[in-house]
């Protein structure tokens, strides 16, 4: 990996930073955030502006360029990668280290008095703008919106914004029609006395209209905004994809409809002016509901007194609670996914000893097996296929430079998932194709104990996921071990593999309470730098739990694993498990046998079925 040479690019950027064609007054600093105009986690190539200007293409990072300096803030996952990918023009700001200045503090320390700091108001979320603007103002500087994105002005070969065809999802997948979703949304709006709701997150637009796209890799979304009034629906979307007859029919664009369900289709680029028009026409007490993470540009379109901002939108919360059709779809998707992984692991077991399987080959093979399954669309994220020391790099993705060959001497960690038309999967298994050491088994077993502690946890209705995080760590903590990531994230239903508003992490506090129908991952791990990584991840569904008593009539919840892939028993030190934990493993494997076994049988995959049966032999504890 050689760094990107950015001398010329930075020179060009610094020129446009004072070019009156683009800026009213010269800006002494320009901020290039990671995101797109929808605050997406995964972004399209045309939105990879920070990677373009710096060379650093990790998923998180903010670049700031001043007349003299260029600096990049990123977190511990990416220190090494950023250092490799950036040339000497760049200073790496290691977030989380004690001596690293915040972006605001750094700007204040390097800028001449009374400086202007520019940023694209469409990219920066309103809450971030507010924080940064306040800090700069108190030091005598100004944060200013620069309408034209300055990176785009120098990015001559910038790829086009994708505009791929849409997929319509019928009731058998979604359970609820888009009309009923609009009705429910409007009732939430009425509850809060809000007249308009602005949908800015791509997965929220997709969910609301029961449409999917492929504008962004791994995420079945499409570039669009929506503005929902009490009597109007405006969908801002480009391209002739709205000319597609199934889409027109799905959205009833050509039908005679009650006016409140008539969708007005408008150009993607007209959202700002339309929203400004909405803002200008508001009567007193007419509020507009936006996410507090919506872009500064869209938030500013609504006069402050009329804004109603919340961290989680009603769509985000409704989307998280899967209905029966979605849950059934997720179950089907996970069974198919398990079939693919049984095939893969059976194949790996035979091939790894030959010394011909690399991390990339294994990842490709996983994709091949998945693509054989019905309704497969694409992967749900870049496969983490890592062996030995690469396993300790939590967000590793094999590339030719780092590609290791799997062997019978090293632990192999595979974290992968797919988008099926009926659901999204995300599963991690850690395997040994030879004989694991006692220490490796010990660590694996602590991770497994943590996985079970969460999966089998019973907790009252109304409990937030972050309160369960320590359960996943307790066995590791007892021995002085830990892992430096959260335990779980929300998972979409044929949507983003990471979604809010719930999760299981010590880092969040503002998560919404878990409720029956929510789907999260359960993925504790243990990583030893330079030697191996262990992670055991299932996607689990929140379900009601039966308990002996029922305090204050609150009811209890627990989890049902949707992922049904064997956990390698060879890696388990059975003597470290309690009887309850041992039973959990055996019952889990029994379910894998029954459910996935039946599907393997149905698909005529007899060798993989034999592998499954071998791998799900019950554990026996020495009493």
Binding to its own copies, residues 276-305 (CB under 8 A):
305
- In whole angstroms, give the CA distance from residue 413 to residue 411: 7
Helix 324-351 and helix 606-615, axial crossing angle in degrees, nearest 10: 90
20, 281, 480, 604: which one contacts its own copies (CB under 8 A)?
480
Stretch that binds its own copies, among 30-38, 149-157, 319-327, 460-468 (CB under 8 A): 460-468
- On whether the CB atoms of residues 64 and 106 are closer than 8 A, the answer is yes
CB-nearer residue toward its own copies: 268 or 506: 506
Stretch that binds its own copies, among 26-34, 142-150, 173-181, 472-480 (CB under 8 A): 472-480
CB of 102 to its own copies, least distance (A): 15
Asked if 470 interacts with its own copies (CB under 8 A), we say yes
Stretch that binds its own copies, among 78-86, 155-163, 456-464, 591-599 (CB under 8 A): 456-464
b or e along 344-374 (b: 16 or more beta carbons within 10 Å of the residue's beta carbon)? bbbbbeebbeeeebbbbbbbebbbebbeebe
Stretch that binds its own copies, among 183-191, 347-355, 372-380, 453-461 (CB under 8 A): 453-461
CB-nearer residue toward its own copies: 7 or 437: 437
- In whole angstroms, give the CA distance from residue 543 to residue 531: 38
The angle at the Cα of 485, spanning 480 to 489, to the nearest 5 degrees, equals: 135
Rg (the chain; Cα; Å): 25
CB-nearer residue toward its own copies: 240 or 549: 549
- In whole angstroms, give the CA distance from residue 424 to residue 417: 7
Contacts of 610 by beta carbon, 8 Å cutoff, 6+ apart = 346
Asked if 79 interacts with its own copies (CB under 8 A), we say no
CB of 459 to its own copies, least distance (A): 5
DSSP H/E element including 307:
strand 307-310
CB of 431 to its own copies, least distance (A): 23
Binding to its own copies, residues 301-330 (CB under 8 A):
305
Asked if 551 interacts with its own copies (CB under 8 A), we say yes
Closest CA to 311 of 508, 453, 480: 508
**Number of residues written out for the chain:** 623
Count of residues of this chain found to bind its own copies when the rule CB under 8 A is applied: 32
CB-nearer residue toward its own copies: 470 or 586: 470
CB-nearer residue toward its own copies: 64 or 520: 520
How many C-alpha atoms does 301 have within 13 Å on its Cβ side? Answer: 23
- Quote the strand ranges of 407-555, DSSP E: 411-416, 418-420, 423-424, 427-432, 459-460, 488-490, 499-504, 519-522, 525-528, 532-535, 538-545
15, 371, 372, 474: which one contacts its own copies (CB under 8 A)?
474
Asked if 369 interacts with its own copies (CB under 8 A), we say no
- In whole angstroms, give the CA distance from residue 615 to residue 286: 61
CB-nearer residue toward its own copies: 260 or 292: 292
Contacts of 147 by beta carbon, 8 Å cutoff, 6+ apart = 121
Other Cβ atoms within 10 Å of 109 Cβ, number? 9
CB-nearer residue toward its own copies: 459 or 559: 459
Other Cβ atoms within 10 Å of 261 Cβ, number? 16
Instruction: Provide the sign of the torsion angle of the four alpha carbons 357, 361, 365, 366, taken in this order.
Output: positive
CB-nearer residue toward its own copies: 280 or 439: 439
CB of 337 to its own copies, least distance (A): 31
- On whether the CB atoms of residues 186 and 229 are closer than 8 A, the answer is no
- In whole angstroms, give the CA distance from residue 218 to residue 195: 34
Asked if 481 interacts with its own copies (CB under 8 A), we say yes
Terminal C-alpha separation, the chain: 53
**By CB neighbour count within 10 A (0-12 exposed, 13-18 middle, 19+ buried), where does 401 fall?**
exposed
479, 570, 590, 614: which one contacts its own copies (CB under 8 A)?
479
CB-nearer residue toward its own copies: 354 or 552: 552
Asked if 105 interacts with its own copies (CB under 8 A), we say no
88, 187, 409, 547: which one contacts its own copies (CB under 8 A)?
547
Helix (H/G/I), strand (E/B), else coil: 50: helix
CB-nearer residue toward its own copies: 468 or 518: 468
CB of 469 to its own copies, least distance (A): 7
Binding to its own copies, residues 500-519 (CB under 8 A):
506, 509
Stretch that binds its own copies, among 40-48, 61-69, 118-126, 462-470 (CB under 8 A): 462-470
554, 606, 610, 614: which one contacts its own copies (CB under 8 A)?
554
Asked if 80 interacts with its own copies (CB under 8 A), we say no
Binding to its own copies, residues 516-545 (CB under 8 A):
545
CB of 96 to its own copies, least distance (A): 12
Binding site for its own copies (CB under 8 A): 138, 305, 457-460, 467-471, 473-474, 476-482, 506, 509, 545, 547-552, 554, 556, 578
């Amino acid at each position: 990996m050689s760094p990107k040479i950015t001398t010329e690019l930075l020179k060009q950027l610094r020129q446009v930073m004072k070019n009156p064609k683009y800026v009213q007054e010269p800006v002494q600093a320009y901020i290039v955030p990671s995101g797109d105009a929808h605050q997406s986690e995964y972004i399209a190539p045309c939105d990879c502006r920070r990677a373009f200007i710096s060379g650093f293409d990790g998923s998180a990072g903010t670049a700031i360029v001043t007349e003299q300096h260029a600096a990049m803030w990123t977190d511990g996952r990416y220190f090494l990668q950023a250092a490799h990918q950036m040339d000497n023009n760049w200073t790496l700001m290691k977030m989380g280290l004690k001596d690293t200045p915040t972006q605001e503090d750094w700007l204040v320390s390097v800028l001449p008095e009374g400086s202007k700091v520019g940023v694209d108001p469409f990219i920066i979320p309103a809450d971030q703008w507010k924080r940064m603007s306040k800090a700069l103002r108190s030091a005598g500087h100004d944060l200013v919106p620069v309408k034209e994105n300055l990176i785009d002005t120098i990015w001559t070969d910038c790829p086009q914004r994708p505009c791929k065809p849409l997929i319509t999802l019928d009731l058998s997948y979604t359970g609820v029609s888009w009309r009923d979703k609009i009705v429910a949304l409007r009732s939430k709006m009425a509850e809060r006395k809000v007249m308009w709701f602005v949908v800015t997150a791509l997965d929220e637009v997709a969910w609301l209209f029961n449409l999917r796209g492929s504008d962004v890799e791994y995420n079945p979304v499409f570039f669009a905004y929506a503005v929902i009034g009490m009597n109007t629906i405006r969908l801002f979307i480009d391209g002739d994809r709205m000319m597609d007859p199934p889409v027109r029919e799905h959205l009833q664009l050509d039908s005679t409809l009650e006016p409140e369900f008539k969708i007005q289709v408008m150009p993607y680029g007209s959202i700002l002016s339309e929203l400004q028009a909405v803002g200008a026409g508001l009567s007193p007490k007419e509020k507009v509901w936006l996410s507090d993470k919506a872009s500064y540009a869209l938030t500013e379109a609504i006069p402050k007194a009329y804004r109603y901002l919340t961290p989680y939108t009603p769509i985000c919360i409704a989307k998280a609670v899967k209905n029966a059709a979605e849950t059934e779809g997720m179950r089907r998707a996970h069974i198919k996914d398990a079939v693919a992984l049984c095939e893969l692991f059976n194949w790996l077991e035979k091939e790894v000893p030959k010394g011909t399987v690399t991390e990339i080959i294994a990842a490709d093979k996983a994709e091949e097996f998945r693509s054989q399954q019905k309704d497969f669309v694409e992967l749900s994220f870049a496969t983490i296929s890592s062996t030995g020391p690469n396993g300790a790099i939590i967000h590793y993705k094999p590339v030719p430079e780092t590609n290791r060959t799997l062997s019978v001497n090293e632990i192999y960690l595979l974290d992968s998932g797919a988008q099926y038309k009926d659901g999204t999967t995300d599963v991690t298994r850690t395997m040994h194709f030879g004989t694991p050491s006692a220490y490796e088994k010990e660590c694996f077993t602590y991770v497994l104990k943590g996985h079970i502690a969460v999966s089998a946890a019973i907790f009252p209705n109304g409990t937030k996921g972050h309160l369960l995080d320590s359960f996943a760590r307790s066995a590791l903590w007892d021995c002085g071990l830990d892992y430096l990531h959260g335990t779980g994230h929300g998972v979409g239903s044929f949507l983003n593999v990471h979604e809010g508003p719930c999760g299981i992490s010590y880092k969040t506090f503002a998560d919404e309470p878990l409720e029956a129908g929510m789907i999260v991952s359960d993925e504790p791990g243990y990583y030893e730098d330079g030697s191996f990584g262990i992670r055991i991840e299932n996607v689990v569904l929140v379900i009601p739990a039966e308990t002996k008593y029922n305090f204050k009539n609150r009811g209890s919840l627990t989890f049902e694993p949707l992922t049904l892939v064997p956990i390698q028993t060879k890696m388990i030190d059975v003597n470290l498990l309690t009887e309850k934990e041992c039973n959990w493993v055996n019952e889990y494997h029994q379910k894998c046998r029954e459910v996935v076994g039946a599907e393997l049988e149905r698909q005529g995959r007899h060798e993989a079925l034999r592998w499954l049966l071998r791998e799900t032999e019950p554990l026996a504890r020495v009493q």
